[in-house]
Amino acid sequence: MAVFESRINPGSDDFARNRADMMALVGRLNEIKGRAARISERRRDRFEERGQLTPRERLARLLDPGMPFLELYGLANYLADTDDEPKSVPGASLITGIGFVAGVRCMIHVDDSGINAGAMTRSSGPKAMNCMDIAREKKLPYIHLVESAGANLMQYTVEGWAHGGGLFYRLGLLSAAGVPTFVVLHGPSTAGGAYMPGMSDYVIGIRGRGRAALGSAALVRAATGEIADEETLSGSEMHATTSGLVEYLAEDDTHGLLMMRELVGRLDWNKNCDAPAPKAVRPPKYSADELCGVVPVDYRRPYDVREVLARIVDGSDFSDFKPRYGSSTVCVQADIMGHACGIVGNNGPIDPSGATKVAQFLQLCDQAAIPVVFLHNITGYMVGTEYEHAGMIKHGSKMIQAVANIRVPKLAVHIGASFGAGNYGMCGLGFEPDFLFAWPNARTGVMGGQQAATTMTQVALQGAARKGAEVDMDTLKKQEARLVAHYDRQEDAFYTSGRLLDQGVIDPRDTRKVLGFALATCWEARHRKVQPNAFGVSRF
Amino acid sequence: MSTFRTLLIANRGEIAARVVRTARAQGYRTVAVHSEADAAAPHVKLADDAVLIGPGPVGDSYLRADRIIAAAKAAGADAVHPGYGFLSENADFADACADAGLVFVGPPASAIRAMGNKAAAKRLMIAAGVPCVPGYQDPDQSDASFVAAAERIGFPVMVKAAAGGGGRGMRLVHKSADLVNALATARSEAQNAFGSGELILEKAVVQPRHVEIQVFADAHGTVVHLGERDCSVQRRHQKVVEEAPCPVMTPDLRAAMGAAAVEAARAIGYRGAGTVEFLLDVSGEFYFLEMNTRLQVEHPVTELVTGLDLVALQLRVAEGRPLGFGQDDVTLTGHAIEVRLYAEDPATGFLPATGPVEMWEPATGPGVRIDAGIATGLDVSPFYDPMLAKVIAYGADREEARQRLIGALKRTHLFGTVTNKRFLIDVLSRDAFAEGKATTAFIAEQFTDADLAAAALPLARAAMAAVLLVEAEQDRALGRSLGMNAELLGWTNGEGLATRVVFEAGEARHDMFVHPAGQGSYRVATGSDELSVAVLSKDGIHARLTVDGRRHQVAFHSAAPGYVHIEEDGVAHALRNAVSFAAAAEAAAGGGRVTAPMPGLVREVLVEAGQTVATGARLLVLEAMKMQHEILAGIDGTVTEVLASAGKQVAAGDLLVEIEAAE
């Protein structure tokens, strides 16, 4: 155990330049993330006219004041809705995350009905399904504040519809897993959307606003000629008195959310989970605020990942595991907010010693049942004859196999590069980390754009040489530029986050908090007893 | 000698607790009596034994002489201390105690009777040579006789209930034409309050001081006085501030008034503690008003300036032992002032308030004495006098006592029910009071409606309350959670989650968003302003904060989600976050739900279900503190339900009648 001695000079030019670069990216992150809120806020008058709260007011009112909220998939659908960067809106018309209601850690899903009346985007279903999966895995009661125009008929895709069934499938699984699901019906939920309340264990309906129907009045008229008014057809009051879909009838949004909070409180959900033993937690000796100055945004410039660790772990205090063996791969034992964990970082490509070190380290973490945190800054496994001879594939496979099979929580953060099989070895998306976030400077992909382009140029030159053909260097240059752009665009953290390839881009200075929150969530999941049943709870 | 070992205290609240303390210190075993409503009251917990004597209403408990005597027997008591109020001046009760073989810690029944009727008492005093206000106290109760007497005495005159006290049945009449009406109302009030409509008439002494002399007599012929108390600061004849000595007292005047009081006591064969009340006019003339044949509420100020324990002396005299000192041994040192802390709302004409005592924290400090009958977690019940505590301060001189008392009031915190605390601080702070110039007209002259209105809530204080409320709600959530690292409190990686807090206080409405800004720091945004609030420290109900860098020290308490009390510099606000609640649900039910504005007894119900009523129609009559309040319809509509019934006691906020609004 040793408190790390930082070599960083926060007064240096390097630090200032790094910080300026990173803060520019953080500024971009905040600008993009703020777009959805700004657009939604434009509809405030409409909400107020109808006596409603805005989606973000609903969220704030639902959550316990002052308790933390970990937003998930905040950039979902960014650049997936349009290639026009300034016009793209992140969030997929829903706000999701883990927060506290009456002291209970819950998964929250708020339809952002200020944007296109909450109509689904192509990423909305996948985003919600991912959250449902996390809720089931982490045993988090699922609370959905419903107000959605439903599927966007103008942007229909058959696969969107087909996969969309997964939402209701997952609600069924949650209920059967002993994880209760809740809906506050703030507005309409029509057609498929009607199964949102339908499949949820508890429904609170807002009188006069909440609606659920398989066919709206317009559709009913088109289909059967029946002229029905929306309220009689689908209103909360009807469902509370006649159909039996609504358990609790609320007078307005505020009332409904108050009932929701009471309802969660009445589950006494925390009775089935022991609280972790209280620990005195020391904050890092080095301020998290310095992280932006410690790390160069260009992954090609090396730095010691321990400088990052020192600004994340309790007391800046960690034990370096085998520091002189496979030294470009860093393994340490440390606490984050009182949670003991193993942490893997990179000070360069992974060599055979580094790979075997990590494989062993992961097995030790598994043996001791402590979670592992992977801080990706990896360009890949070493290549070249020497390394192939040394069994790089064999040793790398051991490491990847360990990552795949350890039974402890796995948390990953892309803090720089994450390329190729290095991404796999560091528990990339495909390895189902429990939580996965990215810094705004992160670059991920099979390889860097320049490397891909150069590789393809080499392939072309070799092919031409074999055939003895003339090489049009101009065409090659153009191809190279096209490839670099194609790769660069896709490796950008904002792009990948928009594609749901992580759970969000975070301000580097929040890393300790994100990890602390995530570790506590994993801890609760593993200590909570639930009472699963075979078919989920039915409404009779 | 009639020694006793076990003393039953036939009272409740602060006086019962106060008597128990001295009695125990003197080695007596103590027995409390209590109603069902008082089962957990401090006086019950304090005593060695306690006996339940009946339901909440006083007529079924504390006024039931038979039950109290039975309780004394059951608990093995051989003496009864009546406290003040209730049965303390009931001669029949004194007799009943004697008949039951119990020592009554008070004067002989004959002395009680002699002073019990004001008319008779006055005749007796005139005969004894005690100066009296010119007046009419004849058994002839005809209006004509009163009118003739009033003309003879000269206006203004005061009409009083012969059997009364405490301002009930009292009317000030300025001219002949008003007298007959005043007689009628006073007579009916007196009949209601005291069971006797007999009235007397007195010349109204204009702007007098109310000065009373504490007397003490033993069974061995010693009668002394313990100096005076000035109780001039009164509101509708109810004492608000009492002090000793009187600011304008001179040794000669004290000697003269003391001698008159001693003479009064001797004239009726008095024994024990008694108080002779006088009016003192600007010229130094004084007039006998009445004699209270019991321990007074305000006795502590006399204790503080004489160094005597009046309850201990009462017990000594009741045992037949001599007082043990004479007039020359009585010395007065320093100055003491007492105020009565009431559960009442100055802003609504001092309507009595009820409610839970969510937090009671009496001040401590040099020279501060607080006699209280309440405790955190109890209710201020509608059944009894709303006096919560007496706050008393002693000082080497009047100014020191006054400053200490203001400080003690500011450091005394009661949350859960409205009190007159700010009004008391205001009274003590007025120049006229500080200069010792307050007469009985002081409050009427000095206090405007604006002075009594609920305190305005400045934005900075609203912002602090909002922050403290948010932290209280966070603490509640934390308590229900499995624990949370402090670094994570108030944090989100999403857009800032602000808590909206709306406080409505009088005219003011503060609509605020509380944004966490790092541990213990907040930005509080309103439409136009943004304040930076930091919580520096919290210790129980006390918090230190800064608002835009300025330091504040407040007391606060949040007993339930959405509710917070905040008090700064003696000004308290009970606040409710309007957006925490289902506003629409309440509003929808609103107008047609008629609730009791105060605790009281339903006298009459004037409507029945199905009846159509117009706005302003009389629905029922509620009697509270002997005043009759008409409850009127707030909307046009049809009465759907009547939940109140005549003779039923209701609490403030109880639903009385429901009206369905007309279309």
Q: How many CB pairs under 8 A join A and B?
A: 135
Residue A190 confidence class, pLDDT cut points 50, 70, 90: confident
Q: Does the distance separating the beta carbons of B492 and A71 come in below 8 Å?
A: yes
> Residue B111: phi, psi to the nearest 5?
-70, -40
**Cβ under 8 Å to B: A residues 250-309:** 250-252, 254-255, 258, 265, 270, 273-276, 278, 281, 283
Euclidean distance between the first and final Cα of chain B, in Å? 78
The torsion region of residue B61 among left (phi > 0), alpha (psi -120 to 50) and beta comes to: alpha
Does the pLDDT at position B584 exceed 80? no
At B166 the pLDDT is 60
CA distances from B563 to A151, B98, B459, B469, B558 (A): 42, 52, 17, 7, 6
Helix, strand or coil for residue B312? helix
CA angle A125, A127, A131 (to 5 degrees): 115
Residue with the bigger pLDDT between B144 and A499: it is A499
Nearest CA to A369 among A327, A340, A335? A340
Cβ–Cβ contact B500 with A under 8 A: yes
Query: What's the mean pLDDT when you consider all of chain B?
Result: 91
CB B370 within 8 A of CB B363: yes
CB A95 within 8 A of CB A56: yes
Neighbours of B106 (CB within 10 A): 30
Is the dihedral angle over the CA atoms B29, B35, B40, B43 positive or is it negative?
A: negative
Q: Which helix (H) or strand (E) holds B70?
A: helix B65-75
Nearest CA to B567 among B395, B443, B411? B411
At A162 the pLDDT is 92
CB A389 within 8 A of CB A414: no
Neighboring chain A residues of B581 at a CB cutoff of 8 Å = 254, 258
At B626 the pLDDT is 57
CB B163 within 8 A of CB B198: yes
Percent of chain B with pLDDT over 70: 97
Tokens of B256: 């003269």
At B585 the pLDDT is 45
Tokens of B101: 């073989």
- What mean pLDDT do residues B497-519 have? 89
At B591 the pLDDT is 59
At B138 the pLDDT is 85
Give the minimum alpha-carbon distance from B492 to chain A in angstroms, rounded to a whole number: 5
Does the pLDDT at position B580 exceed 80? no
> Residue B161: phi, psi to the nearest 5?
-75, 130
At A442 the pLDDT is 97
Query: What's the mean pLDDT when you consider all of chain A?
Result: 95
Does the pLDDT at position B195 exceed 80? no
Is the dihedral angle over the CA atoms B24, B30, B34, B37 positive or is it negative?
A: positive
Q: Does the distance separating the beta carbons of B482 and A68 come in below 8 Å?
A: no
Helix, strand or coil for residue B15? helix
- Distance, CA of A321 to CA of A331 (rounded, Å): 5
Percent of chain B with pLDDT over 90: 64
User: Residue B563 is which amino acid?
Assistant: Y
Q: Which helix (H) or strand (E) holds B181?
A: helix B176-194
Give the minimum alpha-carbon distance from A184 to chain B in angstroms, rounded to a whole number: 15
Alpha helices in B268-397 (DSSP H): 299-306, 310-318
User: Residue B511 is which amino acid?
Assistant: D
CA distances from B536 to A150, B549, B552, B559, B569 (A): 48, 11, 10, 22, 18
Nearest CA to B444 among B419, B427, B457? B427
Q: What is the DSSP string of A173-190?
A: HHHHTT--EEEEEEEEEE
- Distance, CA of B478 to CA of B468 (rounded, Å): 15
CA distances from B408 to A324, A478, B377, B399, B404 (A): 69, 86, 22, 14, 6
At B663 the pLDDT is 64
Nearest CA to B125 among B286, B326, B297? B286
CB B106 within 8 A of CB B293: yes
Contacts made by residues B321-325, CB under 8 angstroms, sequence distance 24+: B321/B1, B321/B218, B322/B218, B322/B219, B322/B220, B322/B222, B323/B216, B323/B217, B323/B218, B323/B220, B323/B222, B323/B224, B325/B224
At A94 the pLDDT is 96
Nearest CA to A518 among A127, A175, A109, A72? A72
Tokens of A160: 């969107």
Q: Which of A360-374, A423-437, B206-220, B634-648 has the lowest mean pLDDT?
A: B634-648
Residue B167 confidence class, pLDDT cut points 50, 70, 90: low
Q: Which of A303-317, A465-479, A484-498 has the lowest mean pLDDT?
A: A465-479
Cβ–Cβ contact B519 with A under 8 A: no
Residue A389 buriedness (CB in 10 A; 0-12 / 13-18 / 19+): exposed
Does the pLDDT at position B588 exceed 50? no
- Distance, CA of A44 to CA of A23 (rounded, Å): 31
- Distance, CA of B102 to CA of B94 (rounded, Å): 9
Cβ–Cβ contact A59 with B under 8 A: yes
- Distance, CA of A222 to CA of A67 (rounded, Å): 48
Give the minimum alpha-carbon distance from B213 to chain A in angstroms, rounded to a whole number: 59
Give the minimum alpha-carbon distance from A436 to chain B in angstroms, rounded to a whole number: 14
Q: Which helix (H) or strand (E) holds B285?
A: none
Q: Does the distance separating the beta carbons of B584 and A252 come in below 8 Å?
A: yes
- Distance, CA of B299 to CA of B214 (rounded, Å): 8
Does the pLDDT at position B587 exceed 50? no
DSSP A299: T
At A1 the pLDDT is 56
Among chain A residues, the shortest Cα distance to B477 is held by A103
Q: What is the pLDDT of residues B270-324, one digit of tens each?
A: 999 999 999 998 888 999 989 999 999 999 999 999 999 999 999 999 999 999 9
Cβ–Cβ contact A34 with B under 8 A: yes
Tokens of B469: 């409320």
Beta bridge partners of B44: none
> Residue B107: phi, psi to the nearest 5?
-75, 170
Kindly give the pairing relationship between strand B79-81 and strand B6-9.
Answer: parallel
CA angle B165, B166, B172 (to 5 degrees): 90
Torsion of CA B274, B278, B280, B285, to 10 degrees: -110
Does the pLDDT at position B553 exceed 70? yes
Q: Name B601's Cβ contacts closer than 8 Å, sequence gap at least 6.
A: B622, B623, B624, B647, B648, B649, B650
Residue A155 confidence class, pLDDT cut points 50, 70, 90: confident
Q: What is the pLDDT of residues B49-81, one digit of tens each?
A: 999 999 988 999 999 999 999 999 999 999 999
At B38 the pLDDT is 95
In chain A, DSSP finds a helix count (H) and a strand count (E) of: 20, 16
Q: What is the DSSP string of B590-630?
A: GGGEEE-SS-EEEEEE---TT-EE-TT-EEEEEEETTEEEE
Nearest CA to B341 among B380, B296, B383? B380
At B589 the pLDDT is 46
Neighboring chain A residues of B480 at a CB cutoff of 8 Å = 102-104, 265, 270
**Cβ under 8 Å to A: B residues 579-638:** 579-585, 588
Nearest CA to B133 among B119, B144, B148? B119
Q: Choose the mutation target among B467, B484, B521 for the interface with A, i.e. most A CBs under 10 Å.
A: B484
At A184 the pLDDT is 98
CB A419 within 8 A of CB A496: no
Does the pLDDT at position A46 exceed 90? yes
- Residue in B485, B498, B582 nearest the CB of A258: B582
Neighbours of A137 (CB within 10 A): 16
**Cβ under 8 Å to A: B residues 564-583:** 579-583
> Residue B26: phi, psi to the nearest 5?
-85, 0
At B455 the pLDDT is 87
- CA Rg, chain A, in Å? 25
Helix, strand or coil for residue B13? helix
Q: Does the distance separating the beta carbons of B588 and A516 come in below 8 Å?
A: no
Identify each DSSP E strand in A112-158 by its residue range: 142-148
Q: What is the pLDDT of residues B337-388, one digit of tens each?
A: 999 999 999 988 898 888 889 999 999 999 999 999 999 999 888 888 889 9
Cβ–Cβ contact A48 with B under 8 A: no
Q: What is the pLDDT of residues B116-154, one digit of tens each?
A: 888 888 889 999 889 998 888 888 899 989 999 998 888
- Distance, CA of A126 to CA of A464 (rounded, Å): 45
- Distance, CA of A530 to CA of A539 (rounded, Å): 20
CA distances from A5 to A393, B537, B546 (A): 35, 33, 36
Cβ–Cβ contact A347 with B under 8 A: no
Complex ipTM over 0.90: yes
- Distance, CA of B351 to CA of B330 (rounded, Å): 41
Residue B202 confidence class, pLDDT cut points 50, 70, 90: confident
Tokens of B381: 């019940």
